[in-house]
Amino acid sequence: MGLTLDDFTYNTAIDSFCKVGMVDEAVELFDFMRTKGSTMSSPTAKTYVMMAMVLIKNDCMEEFFKLLGDTKQSLCLPDVSTYKELMEGMCVAGKIEEAYSILEERGNEGNPPDILTYNCFLKVLCDNGNIDEAIRLYGRIIRWVACLWCKLSIF
């Protein structure tokens, strides 16, 4: 009909495909957005997180890490909200070490996780009965807050 679809429309379709298990269709639509979409229909951080979640849920970790690399190249990095979703999804899927790896990588790139991301991570670990991991993460949070406090004390 000559209408130009926007990223919201594509994201809605991808989300629907993922929810009903039509992963191949979601991947195909995502690839279309990346290669043939207009500036209005380019993938957003939300699109990347949706695709990451479906890859994690289907234990396609190699493809997941490739996708993360693509987000950096496209400069379409997750914001606080989508990053929180990503960490939560990884923990729920039992990919805790991979989630830690991403937390560390993000921090090494000068973009450390915020307290909302840590809280989400803690909640999922506790909800899944992974108390030892939650205590380990809590220790990391305390060190992170101490580092922030030291930096603020300088001023």
Using CA atoms, how far apart are residues 35 and 48, in angstroms rounded to an integer?
A: 14
Q: What is the pLDDT of residues 7-26, one digit of tens each?
A: 888 899 999 998 898 989 99
| Tokens describing residue 154 | 């300088």
Query: Which residues contact residue 42 at a Cβ distance below 8 angstroms, ignoring those fewer than 6 apart?
Result: 7, 33, 34, 76
Using CA atoms, how far apart are residues 72 and 75, in angstroms rounded to an integer?
A: 5
pTM, to two decimals: 0.68
pLDDT(136) > 70: yes
Using CA atoms, how far apart are residues 32 and 5, in angstroms rounded to an integer?
A: 12
Higher pLDDT, 101 or 139: 139
Q: Do the beta carbons of residue 99 and residue 68 sit within 8 Å?
A: no
Helix pair 7-19, 45-57: axis angle to 10 deg: 10
pLDDT(46) > 80: yes
Q: What is the pLDDT of residues 75-96, one digit of tens each?
A: 666 666 677 777 777 877 888 8
Instruction: Tell me which residue of 92, 94, 76, 75 sits closest to 84, measured CA to CA.
Output: 92
pLDDT given at position 77: 65
| Tokens describing residue 21 | 């298990």
Higher pLDDT, 91 or 149: 91
Q: Using pLDDT thresholds of 50, 70 and 90, give the confidence band for residue 146.
A: confident
Using CA atoms, how far apart are residues 44 and 56, in angstroms rounded to an integer?
A: 18
Higher pLDDT, 57 or 73: 57
Mean pLDDT, rounded, for 50-57 = 86
